[in-house]
A and B are shown apart, each in its own frame.
Chain A
Amino acid sequence: MLVEVENLRIAFPTPTGLSEAVCGISLALGQEKLGIVGESGSGKSLTARALLRLLPRSAQVTAERLSFDGIDLLRADERTMRRIRGRRAGLILQDPKFSLNPVMAVGEQIAEAWRLHKQGGRRAAREAALALLDQVRIRDPARVAGLYPHELSGGMGQRVMIAMMLAPDPELLIADEPTSALDATVQAEILRLMEDLVARRGMALILISHDLPLVSHFCDRVIVMYAGRVMEALAARDLAQARHPYTRGLLACLPSLVHPRAPLPVLARDPAWSP
């Protein structure tokens, strides 16, 4: 098992007391592609960031178990975490306009990711960066490497992000809403690219999204989250036979060209789902 999480709780202090954003999540990940689906505020991004201990200092993280390849992440010190981050697990964020350093050329950012974990000088890093840009199917890598993030389109920016996170050859890739900021046409391309690279490198993938059909298409297993809790966990191919009313409600909300439904059903939220 690559990742093991048991009863993860993440709380934030607020003026009116402690607010729990994640209330007891458990999951296990092996060499597979796991999708985490939920609406905004369900706690899916927080869970992913907790795996790399990238939450803000004010966050209070507790769990019975939080481990990566057997390493206890709760008790790990900063140096141990730095050896995991990047080298063994990478994180792709949503919007390259904000997640890339605006005043650094993208080639340099990829080279930095390479140099942090691999032995080699500037020239080796630059060559590696160009090779990675080629792997993410960017034409003319040498020209793009000198560009700044604001000069890139959304799709190109995400390719750069992917290249950057794959530079140290990690075992796990966590993608937090990687396509939510992209046009629909570009979304599919980026996801296929990620799928291809993950398969070729033998990596595990955690794909976080609010888009249920997208996740079910690209992942082996799906976890459905709501209000900081896991509502249901099932294999992707069994999604149509989901049993939890929340999942069924999500499925029912999806508009369909083939079976049009006049008026679209609205999800009825049961307060029992978030006590």
Chain B
Amino acid sequence: MSGSVHARLARLAGTAGSVPITLFGLILVTFLIGRVMPIDPVIAIVGDHAPPDVIARVRAELGLDRPLPVQFGIYLDHLLHGDLGRSVMTTHPVTQDIATYFPATFELATTAIILAILVGVPAGVLAAARQGSRLDHLVRVVTLTGQSIPVFVLGLIFLLTFYVKLGIAPGTGQIDVAYDGLVEPVTRMLVVDAALEGQWDVFWDALAHLALPALVLAYFSLAYITRMTRAFMLDALAGEYIVTARAKGASGARIVWRHAFGNIAVPLVTVIALAYAGLLEGAVLTETVFSWPGLGLYLTVSLLNADMNAVLGATLVVGLIYVVLNLLADLAYRVLDPRTR
């Protein structure tokens, strides 16, 4: 039993031991995408309409007349100094843009994962404990749908239902136009900032705007988390120690939560970390549907404007977060499981 939970987890979490090499590979890949793949990397960065002197300056800056390894060295040097280049679209440094837009994504993703955990974990546990029951079938329908529907379609359907037809949710965006700019951007998470300042009108409006996109993302994560929880629990409930617990005269609830769930709690932490990482992808699409001013929207808009610096900068940052989350997932497992001590 525990062997297959281990094996499942090993498949999921991958290897974290090679983080520096992975990071290096990430940087190399973005370098190749940015400098080597496009036909003219300079045009990719400054756009078609840039004047010739700008083009010449950027070409010299990037060292495009130098050999590839030197170019990579320049790229690496810039990175280590926190310089991701300048965005053609916003004219700000990409690092500044990312700092501006990331908190909104963080707000959205964190709300979504919390909702997903609160609903998904108990649902998965109960579905496994009552395998074959109506609850189990309902859970399986929900998870299967969540795996099969595109996140942007779900977003559109939610908008249609709750905003257009039912009128109970506000429209797209992070805040109503009327309240825009009223709150001091401290954390840049509107809900938090409004609460910090005590501006409760703004707070409720921001929360209302957060609800729909968070629910859409939460449904996604929920599909994954519930499915994994249920699978882990089914494995755990088949173990011999469950027979022992029953033979001791423990009640059903105690067996399910103290014994079986206790055994999957650690692998579940890993699953949740991976689910959070997966939310980054979902955020790109959800932010586009809901015009949520986060990193995902920034990435999409940069793509449409062929703003290479911004695209690569955002890709690199997202990739970095992904790597860190995977590492945390693996570490959590090693640290928390008593069997690995």
> What is the interface of chain A, defined by CB distance below 8 A to chain B?
49, 52, 54, 78, 82-87, 90-91, 93, 95, 98-104, 112-113, 116-117, 148, 150, 161, 164-165, 168
Q: What 10 pairs across the A-B complex have the smallest Cβ distances?
A: A86-B249, A91-B247, A98-B240, A85-B249, A99-B240, A101-B241, A86-B248, A82-B249, A113-B248, A99-B244
B122 within 8 A of A: no
Q: Are B243 and A54 in contact (CB under 8 A)?
A: yes
Residues of A contacting B243 in the complex (Cβ-Cβ under 8 angstroms): 49, 54, 91, 93, 99
29 contacts between A and B (CB under 8 A): A49-B243, A54-B247, A82-B249, A82-B250, A83-B249, A85-B247, A86-B247, A86-B248, A86-B249, A86-B250, A93-B240, A95-B240, A98-B240, A98-B241, A99-B243, A99-B244, A100-B241, A101-B241, A101-B244, A101-B245, A101-B263, A102-B338, A103-B339, A104-B259, A112-B248, A116-B248, A116-B250, A150-B339, A164-B248
Q: Are B241 and A102 in contact (CB under 8 A)?
A: yes
CA distance A100 to B263 in the complex (A): 12
Q: Are B249 and A117 in contact (CB under 8 A)?
A: yes
Residues of A contacting B337 in the complex (Cβ-Cβ under 8 angstroms): 103
- Where chain B touches its partner, the secondary structure class is helix
Q: Are A101 and B259 in contact (CB under 8 A)?
A: yes
Smallest Cβ-Cβ distance to B243: which chain A residue? A54
B18 within 8 A of A: no
With A98-B239, A102-B2, A103-B262 known as contacts, the answer to whether A54 contacts B248 (CB < 8 A) is no
Q: Are B249 and A91 in contact (CB under 8 A)?
A: no
Within 8 A of A (CB), among B264-289: 265-266
Q: Which of A102, A116, A148 has the most CB of B within 10 A?
A: A102
CA distance A102 to B338 in the complex (A): 8
Residues of A contacting B249 in the complex (Cβ-Cβ under 8 angstroms): 82-87, 116-117, 168
Smallest Cβ-Cβ distance to A49: which chain B residue? B243
Within 8 A of A (CB), among B202-256: 239-241, 243-252
Smallest Cβ-Cβ distance to A150: which chain B residue? B339
> What is the interface of chain B, defined by CB distance below 8 A to chain A?
1-2, 239-241, 243-252, 259, 262-263, 265-266, 337-339
Q: Taking the nearest CB of chain A, how far is it from the CB of B82, in angstroms? A: 43
Residues of A contacting B239 in the complex (Cβ-Cβ under 8 angstroms): 98
CA distance A157 to B55 in the complex (A): 74
Q: Taking the nearest CB of chain B, how far is it from the CB of A65, in angstroms? A: 22
Contact of B248 among A78, A85, A102 (CB under 8 A): A85
Q: Are B251 and A148 in contact (CB under 8 A)?
A: no
Given contacts A98-B240, A102-B263, 14 further A-B contacts (CB under 8 A): A82-B251, A83-B249, A85-B246, A86-B250, A91-B244, A91-B247, A93-B243, A93-B244, A99-B241, A102-B339, A103-B262, A103-B337, A164-B248, A165-B248
Q: Taking the nearest CB of chain B, how far is it from the CB of A198, in angstroms? A: 17
Q: Are A103 and B240 in contact (CB under 8 A)?
A: no
Q: Are B248 and A100 in contact (CB under 8 A)?
A: no
CA distance A135 to B139 in the complex (A): 48
With A95-B240, A98-B239 known as contacts, the answer to whether A103 contacts B338 (CB < 8 A) is yes
Q: Taking the nearest CB of chain A, how far is it from the CB of B20, in angstroms? A: 32
Smallest Cβ-Cβ distance to A78: which chain B residue? B252
Residues of B contacting A95 in the complex (Cβ-Cβ under 8 angstroms): 240
CA distance A213 to B148 in the complex (A): 60
Residues of A contacting B240 in the complex (Cβ-Cβ under 8 angstroms): 93, 95, 98-99
Smallest Cβ-Cβ distance to A91: which chain B residue? B247
CA distance A98 to B243 in the complex (A): 10
CA distance A90 to B243 in the complex (A): 11
Q: Taking the nearest CB of chain B, how far is it from the CB of A211, in angstroms? A: 21
Smallest Cβ-Cβ distance to B242: which chain A residue? A101
Q: Are B1 and A98 in contact (CB under 8 A)?
A: yes
Smallest Cβ-Cβ distance to B252: which chain A residue? A78
CA distance A113 to B247 in the complex (A): 10
Q: Taking the nearest CB of chain B, how far is it from the CB of A58, in angstroms? A: 10
